[in-house]
Structure 1
Amino acid sequence: MKTSALVALAAAAVNVAAIKYVSGPDKWPEAMQFETVSMEDAGIPLVKRDADAVDLPPKIQTMPTRNPHIPNSKTVKIRYGPYTVPGARVEGGEGMINNRPSPSVDKPCSRCMILGMNAGLEYPDGADANTNTKMWLHHMVMFNIGKGANDATCPIFGAPHLIVGSMPSSSERIFSSGNERTTTFFNPPWGNVTNLGYPIYPADRFGMIVDLMNMNMQAKESYLTIYYDFIDGHPKEMQEVKPVWMDAAQCGTSEISGRTASAAFDFVSPAWIANFEGEVTGTGGHLHDGGTKVEIIVDKKIICTSVPTYGTDEEALERANIAKLGGLGKGKATTKRSAEPVAYPQTPAKGAAAQAKGTPAKGARADPPAGGAHSHAMGKHIIAMSICADNKAGINDMPLSPLGINKLVKGQSWVLKAYYDYNKYPGMRKGTSESMSTVMGISIMYAKTANKRVGE
């Protein structure tokens, strides 16, 4: 990257709290093109929701614990936003919020151990925003910024860290999700373990990057949601996990050329030479449509093959509901408000009677049929990615793949390899053009480590 680009990016990171969006120089990758004007100033039509039409759920909601096997565990749901995602400028196109940075967002707790998490996208009334209504959680990345939070694979420079106002030496990417909405487990039912967590301290700051897509002609208001499972404090029996982010565009924007419409191709990440030791608890992958698998290769041996599940809009809703319930079991497809928080009243939205008769209530969102540039034959997209883990308990109601390694040892060479084949699964195009959108190949591995992030 040229020096001028580094200076521009650093300046953006320093001033990100004072300006609404950050912009990059011309010809930067799509992921680095941040919006510089408000939607209203750009003349983009907005869908204005009538405040009386629905009762907004609270920003932070206390949920029933999703880890009843762990004493004193808690679950909260946090709604981040709202995000007004611009509508498509032409029929069949898409409107985007491209990698919008938020340098400081709510944490689920002040002093605790996070046990797991998963992301989602929903409308103001709490209904799931998904491909059935032409909305996509394209991707999001959560950072923890604080003492001892150093990025394992980007020790010196990281473009994503800069745009949330930090550096890799004092922050790390702890969680990410695409529209597959995979649940991250630190104490999974297949592992026979209940004492693993990621530590959070009062001085820690969460930062986030969000990338959302809207294939409707009108702008849509939505909220990014994250369900967090945690236990208060840092009990002495708890052990820490550390995330290891692997990326084909490591320390950059994660974007790789999508080639041509009939291409079959693969690409690899730079090798990461392990710089700490621990026990590998699991890993998973992230691909865009058209992807066939992500391999993790350690010392030239494949230890994980994370494969996608392609499904319909209804199946995507089912997977989203499974994630909300904790990642296991069978989820029923629904467009209704997600599981209610404890003690939160289920008050019918005003205008419900009109909706029951087939007339949209004032200010209510419309649910158009899916379609557009990201639609494929049979309307199938990636709805899940398998997690590579040691499935001791024989779990069979979620996508799991074998894990071929137990120990993380200093000096090991770790490489990610991602595969795409548009002849097998059609890829994403740029709007209504014949050009292919950029793609990704990402994985996050979590390792149990004896090292304490912050000595106590």
Structure 2
Amino acid sequence: MKSAALFFSFCAVQHAATAAIQPQGIAPAGTEDLHTVLPLRTRRIMAERRRDIPPKSNPGDPAKLSYMDPPKSKVNNIQVSPSVLYPGAQYKKIRYGPYRIPPISEDNAEFRVMNVSGIANLLTLNATKPCEKECVLHGLTTDLEYDDGRLATQKTGSWLHHVVLWNVGPEVNDAVCRSGKIDLGAGMGGLTELEPGYGVEHLFESGNEKTYVDFSVKESPIKLGYHLRTTDELLFNIELMNMEDREKWVWLTLNWDYREEVNDQYKEGHVVWMSIGPDRCGTNSPNPFGTTNLTISQQPLHPKFTEYSVPWVAPADGHVMGGNGHLHEGGTSTSIYKNGQLLCTSYPHYAKSAPGENQGMGMGHGRKRQIMGAHGENNTMIEHIEKQGGCVFPNGHDIKKGDIMFIKADYDFSKHNGMKNKKGEIDEVMAIVGTLVAFDSPLRINKLTQEALR
């Protein structure tokens, strides 16, 4: 099949752009340089990043300069074992990288374009899949590691702002966005359109909380999972943060539970991502709940407010199996509604020394988190979201084609401090809910509908 890299060519510049040197055991990403089909803004960022890695002297010839060498992995980049969560299934941890996180004093494209320091914003194409043939995904999570397999955490100065994983292919159908477009975020050029005949789905999103995302419900009599096909290709965007003034090299891990069999017993499990703020699909759908409480950069206008997502209309019959919320600091709850009735409320748990801040799961935002606030105050000193609970419905809640779902998010900065930017303002906020839906029949998006949405 045509590679998704025929449309996205960031890997052509990843070596020179703080990015993915593919390690042994990992299939190399596509390198076709077809960047001319990308937006002008994206091409400019790519060109700028070609000059970003600081050079070092070549010992053989001090007059010549060469790029800094990434470390080699000291552990296996693919690790397989029986799944603990799902009997009869496989567990596979795949390490992708290494990725360079610049020191906070480095003057690079992220600093000049996005006005942030110590940030690496990267895109990896044609990422290694857990299975070569068709398989059913039960769930996955993510983590950051160093060359020797040690966890790269806040305590060692490394921070996973977000990872967003997409599946691209001729048979891929997103339950939410059916426009054939993908939002790479402002730091990667924004909304980008796929070539005709390809679909894209938001498969997985996580921040530093590294929540496990289920495509199955272990205790449910309903068999379901995400169907990964041979023609599918994976790509992901990651944003990494350095909390120290020295460069770091890290590997991103995706940890998969899956089984190498696809049959009619397994319904298609899709995570329906709903979020506050702009429409996730780039269709400029109006929000019937009225004027937003956020600025264009997702900063709050009030110290206490409620915000709603653009409603989602179910494209087919199925069952709602559960949901898990995601908030930034200051958030107090997220709730899921179906046809105006409450299905689930998710509450965050705050801790002073949270191992991972619950942040950055979504895309479509231009402003990035700042570790240091105005006047030198440190955002790591406030309480952070350690984890956020969710809801599981083993027997499922019926959902019919045409039913409407939306999320409600509540923020109260008098109860929990928010993260601040360098100006001392409350920084961007988010509310995202991933709702697992088991559809009764495979999703097939009408091509005429897809064209009308573009």
TM-score normalized by the length of structure 2: 0.70
Tell me by how many angstroms 1:148 deviates: 3.0
* Of 130, 135, 142, the match for 1:108: 130
1:85 is aligned, of 65, 81, 101, to 101
Structure 1 counterpart of 2:256, which letter? Y
Instruction: Give the whole-Å Cα distance in 2 for the aligned partners of 1:258 and 1:282.
Output: 27
Could you tell me which residue of structure 2 aligns to residue 178 of structure 1? Answer: 207
Deviation string for 1:355-391 (max 9, x for gaps)? xxxxxxxxxxxxxxxx744944754322212122137
Structure 2 residue matching 1:245: 3-state secondary structure: strand
* Partner Cα separation in structure 1 for residue 378 and residue 441 of structure 2: 46
Q: Sort the Cα spacing of 1:251 and 1:89 in 2 relative to 1 into closer, same or farther, 3 A.
A: same
Cα deviation digits, residues 151-202 of structure 1 (max 9, x gap): 222222534276595689611111111111111223444x344732111111
Counterpart-to-counterpart distance in 2, 1:16 and 1:378: 36
- Structure 1: 5+ residue stretches without partners: 1-10, 320-370, 393-404
Partner of 2:279: 250
Instruction: Pick the aligned partner of 2:387 from 384, 388, 400.
Output: 384
Q: Structure 1 residues 131 and 41, CA, compared in 2 at 3 Å: closer, same or farther?
A: closer
2: distance between equivalents of 1:50 and 1:97?
Answer: 17
Report the Cα distance in structure 1 between the residues aligned to 2:346 and 2:159, rounded to whole angstroms: 21
Post-superposition Cα deviations, 1:73-113, rounded to whole Å, max 9, x if no partner, equal 100001111111112129xx841123x22232111012211
Q: Which has the higher contact order (CA 8 A, sep 6+)?
A: 1
Q: What is the rounded CA distance, in whole Å, between the counterparts of 1:63 and 1:318 in structure 2?
A: 29
Which residue number in structure 2 is paired with residue 446 of structure 1? 436
Report the Cα distance in structure 2 between the residues aligned to 1:291 and 1:36, rounded to whole angstroms: 38
User: 1:60-139, aligned counterparts within 5 Å?
Assistant: 60-68=78-86, 70=87, 72-89=88-105, 94-98=117-121, 100-110=122-132, 111-139=134-162
Shift of 1:423: 2.6
| Equivalent AA in structure 1 for residue 391 of structure 2 | C
2:246 to 200, 214, 218: 218
> Aligned partners of 1:380, 1:89: CA distance in 2, in Å?
26
Distance between the aligned counterparts of 2:75 and 2:193, measured in 1? 27
Relative distance call for 1:171 and 1:41 in structure 2 (3 A) is closer
Partner-residue secondary structure (3-state), 1:246: strand
Question: Structure 1 residues 101, 164: closer, same or farther in 2, change over 3 A?
Answer: farther
Q: Partners in 1 of 2:344 and 2:429 — Cα distance?
A: 20
Distance 2:102 2:257 in 1: 32
Which residue number in structure 1 is paired with residue 309 of structure 2? 269
Alignment of 1:318-333 (within 5 A): none
Matched, 1:421 2:412: yes
Contact residue 180 and residue 193 of structure 2 kept, 8 A: no
Q: Distance in 1 between matches of 2:143 and 2:195?
A: 25
Question: Contact between 1:164 and 1:209, CA under 8 Å: does it hold in 2?
Answer: no
Measure the CA separation in 1 of the matches of 2:6 and 2:423: 31
Query: 1:346: which partner in 2?
Result: none
Q: CA deviation at 1:235?
A: 3.8
1:316 to 350, 355, 367: 355
Deviation at 1:438, TM superposition (A): 2.0
The correspondence of residues 33-52 of structure 1 with structure 2, limited to 5 A, is: 36-38=47-49, 41=52, 43=54
What SS class does the counterpart of residue 183 from structure 2 fall into? helix
**Number of equivalent positions:** 366
Q: 1:255 to 1:227 in 2, by over 3 A?
A: farther
In structure 2, relative to structure 1, the CA distance for the partners of 1:192 and 1:277 (3 Å cut) is closer
Q: 1:201 aligns with which of 225, 229, 238?
A: 229
Q: Tell me: CA distance 1:377–1:171, structure 2 relative to 1, closer, same or farther (3 Å).
A: closer
| Contact 1:256-1:438 at 8 Å conserved across structures | no
Q: Cα gap change, 1:182/1:170 in structure 2, threshold over 3 Å: closer, same or farther?
A: same
Aligned CA distance change for structure 1 residues 440 and 177 (closer, same or farther; 3 Å): same
Which stretches in structure 2 are left out of the alignment for 5+ residues?
18-34, 57-66, 107-115, 185-190, 283-293, 359-370, 445-454
User: Normalising to structure 1: TM-score of the pair?
Assistant: 0.69
Aligned pair partner of 2:177 in 125, 150, 154:
154
Question: Which secondary structure does the structure 1 equivalent of 2:273 belong to?
Answer: strand
Q: Is the 8 A contact 1:257 1:439 kept in 2?
A: no
The one-letter code sitting in structure 2 at the alignment partner of 1:59 is: N
Compared CA separation, residues 390 and 256, structure 1 to 2 (3 A): farther
Q: CA offset at residue 50 of structure 1?
A: 6.1
- Indicate the SS of the match to 1:389: strand
Alignment of 1:402-413 (within 5 A): 406-413=397-404
Distance 1:149 1:193, change over 3 A: same
Partner-residue secondary structure (3-state), 2:95: strand
Please state which structure has a larger fraction of its residues in strand: 2
State the shift of 1:303 in Å: 1.6
Structure 2 counterpart of 1:331: none
Local SS of the residue matching 1:132: helix
* Superposition CA RMSD, Å: 3.7
Contact 1:261 1:435 (C-alpha < 8 Å) held by counterparts: no
